[in-house]
Amino acid sequence: MADVARTLTLRRVAHIAASFAPAALIGLTLERPIEQRLGGRRSIARAQIVAGTALMLADRVPTRRDASTARALDHLLIGIGQAAALAPGVSRNGATLTVARLRGFRRPDASRLSRRAALPVIVGATALKGARLSRRGLPAPVAAAFAAGAAASFASTLLAAPLVARADRAPSYAPFAAYRVALGAVSLIAAR
């Protein structure tokens, strides 16, 4: 966070906006249809398989770029990847890594771009959902479960940071992609 604040320039703000806009626009306009039409067990399983396969294929693209060469178009495409992750079963991180790898970024740089793009989307979605929940109100037992889930999510994110750093140094995203495909296949079989 401090790194982002120190390097905030007009160009950087434009890049943040480019990576944020697609997910915000699609999320705000299509949230209901996405939840209604893509939230079934089979569609989620299929999305996992497609997204995992896409990452596996994208990871084979030759690496030639680092994060400092990212331009507005790269950030916009990463933003479109984030928007694709609005479909249940598509990992936000996996989708943005797929786009960045397709654009030729090395794994650590693809991960760095993915993380940079994530913060505004996660903060925006959290603020929107939080405002909706506060208007509706939550019964005490639901509020307690919600708070426990939020705390567990925050803790798991912190605990996963070393694993993410290790994955960045791995020679391939194939294990992560294969896990997504296998999970989707098992879920698809179980949904029958």
Q: What is the pTM of this model?
A: 0.82
Tell me what pLDDT residue 67 has.
92
Summarize the confidence of residues 174-178 as an average pLDDT.
90
Instruction: Using CA atoms of 129, 132, 134, 139 in order, give the dihedral in degrees to the nearest 10.
Output: -90
What domain range is 64 assigned to?
Answer: 2-121+173-190
The answer to whether residue 144 is domain-embedded is no
Residue tagged 């208007």 (tokens): 135
Give me the number of domains the chain comprises.
1
For 106-143, write each residue's pLDDT tens digit: 998 998 899 888 888 888 888 887 788 778 877 777 77
The answer to whether residue 154 is domain-embedded is no
The answer to whether residue 160 is domain-embedded is no
Tell me what pLDDT residue 55 has.
95
What is the number of residues in the chain? 192
